[in-house]
Amino acid sequence: MLEGHGEAVVCVASLWDGRVVSGSQDRTLRLWDVQHSTPTVVALEGQSDDIVCVAQLEDGRVASGSQDGTLWLWG
């Protein structure tokens, strides 16, 4: 089990490099490196409302969509 979000997780995507990215109602994305016995996590913050979708783009960046009608590109 991975813990770290402060609110419900509403979207998850597997990245090409083996990491997992999750988006939450706490308005953050979290990048989880699950390839190690002790997973590490990086929090990405900035969106002003709940994150409702996440996907990896062909160029490796991550896109996230929010309830506020914005799409953010990360990386």
In a domain, 4, yes or no: no
Q: Is the pLDDT confidence value at 54 over 90?
A: yes
Taking the C-alpha atoms of residue 7 and residue 4, their distance in angstroms, rounded to an integer, is: 9
Q: Is the pLDDT confidence value at 38 over 80?
A: no
The parent domain of residue 42 ranges over 9-74
**pLDDT tier at 2, thresholds 50, 70, 90:** confident
Q: How many CB atoms lie within 10 A of CB 52?
A: 15
In a domain, 40, yes or no: yes
Q: What is the tally of structural domains in the chain?
A: 1
User: How is residue 65 written in tokens?
Assistant: 């969509």
In this prediction, residues 21-28 reach a mean pLDDT of 96
